[in-house]
Amino acid sequence: MEAHVGANQRIARLVAHLRPSNSQEGGDGVLERGECRAKGGAPGFKVAILGAAGGIGQPLALLMKINPLVSVLHLYDVVNTPGVTADVSHMDTGAVVRGFLGQAQLESALTGMDLVIIPAGVPRKPGMTRDDLFKINAGIVKTLCEGIAKACPNAIVNLISNPVNSTVAIAAEVFKKAGTYDPKKLLGVTTLDVARANTFVAEVLGVDPREVDVPVVGGHAGVTILPLLSQVKPPSSFTAEETAYLTDRIQNGGTEVVEAKAGTGSATLSMAYAAAKFANSCLRGLKGEAGVVECSFVDSQVTELPFFATKVRLGRAGAEEVYQLGPLNEYERIGLEKAKKELAGSIQKGIDFIRNQA
């Protein structure tokens, strides 16, 4: 009799667990499944993706679900998270996946998170600059960062939404206003520039891109993307033509993809790869691993600008050390001046967006 009752209870639980969720109100059914699986969850970090149903968000969700350092994965968007969550949650990896839909669920999505990755916002179409996205994405980033300040002020934030040169400043201002700003924990994601630089340089050198390391400094738009080809590892020399070709291709890699996609969006797959790589480095740092170094657009004293991308060392506190530029050649010094000029305006635009609302 006892065994019979136990079996019935197990079946009832299983039926509840499998009940489909059609709710666009927040996917309660998805949450139930998450809770159910959480009991067997692996130890690790709690990660949220904001904009998880988008072109970057979906493959990034997949990549974070297979990251063994992730124990809980929260997927937040203003559309379609129940479906994405149900889909990703069937992968037999350790992370427990939970979906959150719409502004009313932002706080629940963020509570307790160690790392928040933000690819929310509109992408470019041919003919647009990243700055053309400011009008829409500035407000999105502001709202999401207000949520972070409230629900997980100690989380590390990986900001992908464009224009990164302005959105990082927006995020910093929101956090300052809330009294939660920790400069070490706000990281603009420029990893795709490094991935492209490694790929294009490897093509020219005729080597495996995994053997190449190109520091890319400055920011994340056009001339602000400054590859330091004089510091490539392994040490390599380039002709003036190769330098001009590589610099131009790296600076315009995003536009190359936008044009090839012909109006359907910008880089999503390579970006999800780059974001997952960067997030993994942040988690390795959080875990206490030594010597984790990535390029990132951060609060910086390397130049006179308040934010600048250089190599940073990632640790338990976030970007624990911001490295100097190192020796530049004449070509790079000229590039640096151009980059700084454009960056100054983009950063100020982000700062003004928040300060002028006060």
252 is in an annotated binding site: no
Give the residue among 144, 149, 156 at the shortest CA–CA distance from 46: 156
The residues in 34-93 that bind ligand LMR, with binding defined as CB under 6 A, are none
Would you say 53 or 283 has its CB closer to ligand NAD?
A: 53
98/105 Cα distance (integer angstroms): 11
Would you say 133 or 282 has its CB closer to ligand NAD?
A: 133
Among 33, 46, 74, 130, binds ligand LMR (CB under 6 A): 130
First to last CA, the chain: 68
Query: In the annotation, is 220 catalytic?
Result: yes
Helix/strand/coil percent split, the chain, to 5? 50, 15, 30
- Closest separation in Å from C-beta 310 to ligand LMR: 18
228/71 Cα distance (integer angstroms): 37
202/205 Cα distance (integer angstroms): 5
The residues in 179-208 that bind ligand LMR, with binding defined as CB under 6 A, are 192
Q: Which structure tokens are listed for 97? A: 């996946």
Among 67, 71, 266, 280, binds ligand NAD (CB under 6 A): 266
How many positions of this chain bind ligand LMR (CB under 6 A)?
Answer: 12
**Segment interacting with ligand LMR, rule: CB under 6 A, options 16-24, 39-47, 253-261, 305-313:** 253-261
210 is in an annotated binding site: no
Which listed residue (17, 74, 90, 220) is catalytic?
220
- Classify strands 307-315 and 292-299 as parallel, antiparallel or unpaired: antiparallel
Instruction: Show Cβ contacts of residue 11 under 8 Å, excluding neighbours closer than 6 positions.
Output: none
Point out which residues pair with 311 in neighbouring strands.
295
Q: Could you tell me the CA-to-CA distances from 209 to 140, 232, 270, 272, 282 in Å, in that order?
A: 35, 12, 14, 18, 22
- Closest separation in Å from C-beta 58 to ligand NAD: 8
Q: Could you tell me the CA-to-CA distances from 270 to 15, 72, 94, 199 in Å, in that order?
A: 39, 24, 24, 11
Q: What does residue 224 show for φ and ψ, rounded to 5 degrees?
A: -75, -15
Q: Does 56 bind ligand NAD (CB under 6 A)?
A: yes
Q: Does 82 bind ligand NAD (CB under 6 A)?
A: no
The residues in 210-229 that bind ligand LMR, with binding defined as CB under 6 A, are 220
Residue 258 binding target from ligand NAD, ligand LMR, none, CB below 5 to 8 Å by type: ligand LMR
- Closest separation in Å from C-beta 319 to ligand NAD: 16
The residues in 139-198 that bind ligand NAD, with binding defined as CB under 6 A, are 140, 143-144, 160-162, 164, 189, 192
Three-state SS at 291: coil
Give the residue among 33, 50, 108, 43 at the shortest CA–CA distance from 71: 43
265 is in an annotated binding site: no
Residue 88 binding target from ligand LMR, ligand NAD, none, CB below 5 to 8 Å by type: none
Q: Does 214 bind ligand NAD (CB under 6 A)?
A: no
- Closest separation in Å from C-beta 11 to ligand LMR: 49
Among 123, 219, 253, 285, binds ligand NAD (CB under 6 A): 123
245/300 Cα distance (integer angstroms): 29
**Segment interacting with ligand LMR, rule: CB under 6 A, options 63-71, 112-120, 254-262, 347-355:** 254-262
Q: Does 265 bind ligand NAD (CB under 6 A)?
A: yes
- Closest separation in Å from C-beta 71 to ligand LMR: 30
**Alpha helices per DSSP H over 66-216:** 81-89, 106-110, 134-151, 164-178, 191-205
The residues of the shown chain that bind ligand LMR, judged by CB under 6 A, are 123-124, 130, 162, 192, 220, 253-254, 257-258, 266-267
Catalytic sites, residue numbers: 220
Which residues are annotated binding-site positions for NAD(+)?
A: 51-57, 77, 137, 160-162, 271
